[in-house]
Amino acid sequence: MLDHLLFVIFPYAAATLAVVVTLQRYFKKGFSYSSLSSQFLESNELFYGSVAWHFGILGALMGHAIGFFLPVQVLWFNSAPVRLYILESTGLLFGLLAVTGIVSLIVRRLTAPRIRAVTSALDVVVLLLLLVQVVLGVYVALFYRWGSSWFAGSAVPYLRSLWILQPDTGMIAPLPLAVKMHILFAYLLVAVFPFSRLVHMLIVPIQYLWRPYQLVVWNWNRKTLIKQSPRSLRHPVTLPVPAQASDPVAEQRAVVTR
């Protein structure tokens, strides 16, 4: 019963909350989406915290994603012990990097007076949750060896059962407490996610890799307005069809929102 509550109802509730609140926040309070960078106020300690944390956590999350999407391939990869050691130690390295990072981020938040001035209660909650989560992850990696292999046999079937809406907790019931805690904290983070600064990971600007450098936005240019509006009939101005936007200046028509 408790398993059902924690491992079925809770994840669904957390995920629903995350999706609904994230979307409504994005469309109703878009202004609040920001990295909320504090580098301007303190930069030196942030370097060790932020870089170690982000590379560590992104590597670790990537590892989890690979395990979830390609369990068979991971098992095949691990069939040679050398490769298993390499995979496991890489994972552990990312985990340790993340732990170092989050610890120094927390120390920085608590000690630098300027950073304290821009710290909300939720920031502290998020940082502590993340700390517990990555410490649990590293603990599991160290004391319940070869997770990259048993993950495929127990956690993946459970997570997939959730995904296809046929929840089956049979697989995880016998797992050790630390692993269960790791799973629960993940759900907790998902639930906190939409309210916190964590939403910044959704707005990662990869489009930057290909967008043109210069950007021009026309707001009330007669050429574009006349094109978009039948009302222009009231203003009999004859203008030729606009020329194509010329590189290196990208054109964009502003969307007039109400």
Partner 1 sequence: MDVRLQISMVFHLDKCIGCHTCSVACKNVWTDRKGAEYMWWNNVETKPGTGYPTSWEDQSKYRGGWEQKNGQPDLKMGNRSSRLLNIFHNPYLPKMDDYYEPWTYKYEDLFNAPEGADQPTARPISMVTGNLIDIKAGPNWDDDLGGSPVYAANDPNLEALTPEQRAEIFEIERLVFFYLPRICNHCLNASCVAACPSGAIYKRGEDGIVLINQDRCRGWRMCVTACPYKKTFYNWSTGKSEKCILCFPRLETGQAPACFHSCVGRIRYLGALLYDAEQLTSALAVPDSQLVEAQRQMILDPFDPTVRSEALKNGIDEGTLEAAQRSPVYKYVKQWKLALPLHPEFRTLPMLFYVPPLLPVMAKTEDGKYDSSGSELFSPIEKARLPMQYLSRLFSGGNEELVRYALKKQYAIRLFKRMETVGDLDMSVVGRALEEVNTTPEEAERVYRLTSLPTMDDRYVIPPSHREEAMQMLNDDLLQERGSAGLGFRELPVRGA
* Minimal distance, residue 12 CB to partner 1, in Å: 24
Residue 216 touches partner 1, criterion: CB under 8 A? yes
**Nearer Cβ to partner 1 (45/168):** 45
Which residues lie below 8 Å from residue 10, measured CB to CB, with a gap of 6+? 184, 187
* Minimal distance, residue 181 CB to ligand HEM, in Å: 17
* Minimal distance, residue 128 CB to partner 1, in Å: 15
Residue 23 touches partner 1, criterion: CB under 8 A? no
Residue 217's binding partner out of ligand HEM, partner 1, none, with CB under 5 to 8 Å set by partner kind: partner 1
Preceding amide of 248 cis, omega within 30: yes
According to CB under 8 A, which residues from 46 to 75 bind partner 1? 46-47, 50-51, 53-55
**Separation between Cα atoms, residue 10 and residue 87, nearest integer Å:** 31
Other CB atoms within 10 Å distance of the CB of residue 229? 11
Residue 252's binding partner out of partner 1, ligand HEM, none, with CB under 5 to 8 Å set by partner kind: partner 1
* Minimal distance, residue 57 CB to ligand HEM, in Å: 5
Residue 236 touches partner 1, criterion: CB under 8 A? no
CA angle, residues 230, 234, 239, in degrees to nearest 5: 75
CA 90 to chain centre: 21
Residue 109's binding partner out of ligand HEM, partner 1, none, with CB under 5 to 8 Å set by partner kind: ligand HEM
**Nearer Cβ to ligand HEM (101/147):** 101
Which region, judged by CB under 8 A, interacts with partner 1, from 7-15, 37-45, 85-93, 178-186? 37-45
Residue 38 touches partner 1, criterion: CB under 8 A? yes
* Minimal distance, residue 230 CB to ligand HEM, in Å: 43
According to CB under 8 A, which residues from 102 to 141 bind partner 1? 113-114, 116-118, 120, 122-123
Residue with CB nearest ligand HEM? Answer: 37
* Minimal distance, residue 185 CB to partner 1, in Å: 19
Q: How is residue 138 written in tokens?
A: 């590293």
Other CB atoms within 10 Å distance of the CB of residue 6? 15
CA distances from 50 to 53, 57, 134, 150, 196 (A): 5, 10, 15, 31, 17
**Separation between Cα atoms, residue 131 and residue 204, nearest integer Å:** 22
**Separation between Cα atoms, residue 151 and residue 164, nearest integer Å:** 18
**Nearer Cβ to ligand HEM (105/140):** 105
* Minimal distance, residue 113 CB to ligand HEM, in Å: 15
Spatial contact of 184 and 6, defined as CB atoms under 8 Å apart: yes
Spatial contact of 8 and 169, defined as CB atoms under 8 Å apart: yes
CA angle, residues 5, 6, 12, in degrees to nearest 5: 80
